[in-house]
Amino acid sequence: MKPGPLMMLGGGVLMVLSTFLDWRGNTSGLSTDSMGLFGILTLLFGLAVAAVGGIKAFAPQVGLPERVLNFSISQVAVILAFTVFLWTFGVQLGGDSVKIGMALAWIGGAVATVGGVMDSMAAAPRSGGAPRSF
């Protein structure tokens, strides 16, 4: 089993769980009063990343699409996870008091991003060896 898909799965699960915890004050990530659809998008992105990681790790026989909008499926997961990381880490740096849910969201986004990059690099074609002189 490769570590990249497992990291994607774990990071996606952290992103999903974080939306049920407090992000700021007494509001959770799913509260639409303080931050709009921000937490709901984090939940959906986390579900997508966790699904891709889980399928790649535990059910490789399931046929995921080869490409989505000319990106590999691992690259799409990296884009979604990195978006969550930037959103949540940026809000945390904003200076307001943040709770454990916000911290778990950016940690999950970072872990899933690294896992997706590792998975993309493992699937990338290798060079043909040492350069040859002509």
User: pLDDT tens digit string along 15-72?
Assistant: 999 999 988 877 787 877 667 788 899 999 999 999 999 999 998 888 888 888 988 8
pLDDT level of residue 131 (50, 70, 90 thresholds): low
Per-residue pLDDT reduced to its tens digit, 3-18 = 999 999 999 999 999 9
pLDDT at 15: 94
The distance from CA 17 to its chain's CA centroid, rounded to whole angstroms, is: 13
Helix (H, G, I), strand (E, B) or coil at 62: coil
pLDDT at 31: 78
Burial profile 27-62: b = 16 or more Cβ within 10 angstroms, e = fewer:
bbbbbeeebeebbebbbbbbbbbbebbbbbbeeeee
Q: Give this prediction's pTM.
A: 0.84
